[in-house]
Homo-oligomer: A and B are copies of this chain.
Amino acid sequence: MRTLMKILLIHGPNLTCSADASPRSTATQRSRRSTLRFRRAPRAAGAALLAFQSNHEGALIDFIQAEGWDADGIIINPGALTHYGLALRDALAALSASIVEVHLSNVYKREAFRHTSVIAPIAAGQIAGLGWQGYLLALEWLLAKDAAPT
């Protein structure tokens, strides 16, 4: 492994962080704050963070194919693609990076269709329901992963 870890932070549909988003979407707001804190964390730990968001499943796959092959870790909140994005799954499954699936809310408390993840079986693990801190915990785990057997 290289001295500087390369970690991808991927957000799926409806998890936009841009400034012009509707002020009504609290999910958007929370995600934005989370990302701000998130981006500061890896710098101290000597890791390079590359963030990407798209509402297009195809664009997420394009990004994964372009940047994923030499990534050490991937933190992904696939949004609703969690439940049917099989093409996204195939793109992630082709990588050797450790993948952590993160959900802001506890999906197991919501609609039945949100209880199934097509991404989880090809990820290293899953963090759900712990809010924006879920991203920080996933990052922490990726950074600490070398020091411990899984």
A interface residue numbers (CB < 8 A to B): 12-14, 16, 20-25, 27-28, 54-59, 61-62, 65-66, 68-69, 79-81, 83-84, 86-87, 89-91, 94-96, 100, 106, 108-109, 113, 117-118, 120-121, 123-134, 137, 140-141, 144, 148-150
The 18 sampled A-B contact pairs (Cβ below 8 Å) are: A13-B57, A13-B61, A22-B65, A23-B69, A24-B94, A55-B65, A56-B57, A57-B57, A80-B86, A80-B90, A84-B84, A84-B86, A100-B130, A106-B123, A109-B121, A126-B129, A130-B141, A133-B144
B87–A13 contact, CB under 8 A? yes
A126 engages B108 (CB within 8 Å)? yes
